[in-house]
Amino acid sequence: MEISIIIFGAILISVYETLTFYSVRKAEYKVISITQLQQSVAGGGVKVLGGLIGAGSIGLIFGSAFQQGFGIAYMLKKYKLFNSSLDVFCRKRLLLNYAIFRKYKEYPRFRLPSRTVLAISQALPIIYFTKEYGNESVGFLGLAMSMISIPATMIIGNVRKVYYGEISKIGLSESQRIMSLTLSIIMKMLGLAIVFSLILFLFAEQAFSVLFGDNWVEAGLYSKVLSIQVAANFVAGPIVDAFNVIGKVRYYFYFNLFKLILVATSLFFSSLFSLSEIDTLVFLSISVALYYIIQSICILTLIGRLGYKTYR
């Protein structure tokens, strides 16, 4: 059941991602912001509800899939993509579409598998917590993840789309401008990451107690631990679409596979040494943060190589 929902969620986010790329091309950043707000609120709401009623891993995984798909209908209606005229089927258009497909064949080849692997890596901790620690701990984890993801997803997602739009306009021939913009984004997001993580670390338990009652203080403690990986995601998340512009879409798949291996290994050692919930989260959060750091270094290296090729 969980795997079916994960795959369905991966398909939905692939469709949504395609539509966001179309939005960036049309500079419709407002549409992206609206759909991301819808996703954060709807997905977070479903996850919180699932945690409160004790739905366990199914509720959280379904909430993630629901979040990914929310916003697709709004974009389809906005761009009237169901109202295409019959000339789509003419020979000229078919030949053009085939040429485009050949040019960008790495996108369908690697993007959906990447999203599937990423979705599995995100669901693994939820499934593990259900099996090892029970529904109560999963409820704490789900609530913590939901409350963190609402502001983090909106901030990271919006910066990511603007960054992607800008480097697409700049083009690969001006790699120095891409590098300058990338470093600027990293430094600004690092500042935000420090502030966001400090707020979580200092006030998460009190905030959860006030918002949800004393029974949910443990979820605040989970949030403090998760702040480690959230901080790294603030830095790496906005620049990940550089892989698309550079023409290294397959790297995105490789890194998501690397993340899955890290998460699975962390959970394996947690089970092997019978770690507590908090110790497992610490181990997991550090592993995911390491993944984000290595990914960022790789992106900067690839951009640097563009400059080397340009000046050769």
Given a contact cutoff of 8 angstroms between Cβ atoms, the answer to whether 6 and 123 are in contact is yes
CA distance 118 to 164: 20
Residue 246 has pLDDT above 60, yes or no: yes
Residues 130-189: tens digit of each pLDDT: 899 988 898 899 889 888 887 888 899 889 888 988 998 898 889 999 999 999 999 999
- In this prediction, residue 154 carries a pLDDT of 82
Quote the mean pLDDT of the chain: 81
Residue 96 has pLDDT above 90, yes or no: no
Which amino acid does the sequence have at 125?
P
Task: Name the band, by pLDDT with cuts 50, 70 and 90, for residue 68.
Answer: low
- In this prediction, residue 64 carries a pLDDT of 67
Residue 204 has pLDDT above 70, yes or no: yes
CA distance 4 to 8: 6
- In this prediction, residue 105 carries a pLDDT of 55
Residue 66 has pLDDT above 70, yes or no: no
Mean local confidence (pLDDT), 244-262: 92
Task: Name the band, by pLDDT with cuts 50, 70 and 90, for residue 50.
Answer: low
Residues 33-49: tens digit of each pLDDT: 677 676 666 766 666 66
Question: Which candidate, 52, 51, 68, 69, places its Cα nearest to that of 60?
Answer: 51
Which amino acid does the sequence have at 304?
G
- In this prediction, residue 272 carries a pLDDT of 95
Question: Which candidate, 155, 141, 150, 115, places its Cα nearest to that of 257?
Answer: 115
Longest dimension (CA), the chain: 65
Mean local confidence (pLDDT), 209-223: 92
Residue 17 has pLDDT above 80, yes or no: no
Residue 31 has pLDDT above 80, yes or no: no
Percent of the chain with pLDDT over 90: 41
- In this prediction, residue 303 carries a pLDDT of 94
CA distance 277 to 197: 20
- In this prediction, residue 86 carries a pLDDT of 41
Mean local confidence (pLDDT), 232-261: 93
Comparing 194 with 64, the larger pLDDT belongs to 194
CA distance 165 to 253: 21
Residue 79 has pLDDT above 80, yes or no: no
Residues 254-312: tens digit of each pLDDT: 999 999 999 999 999 999 999 999 999 999 999 999 999 999 999 999 999 886 555 45
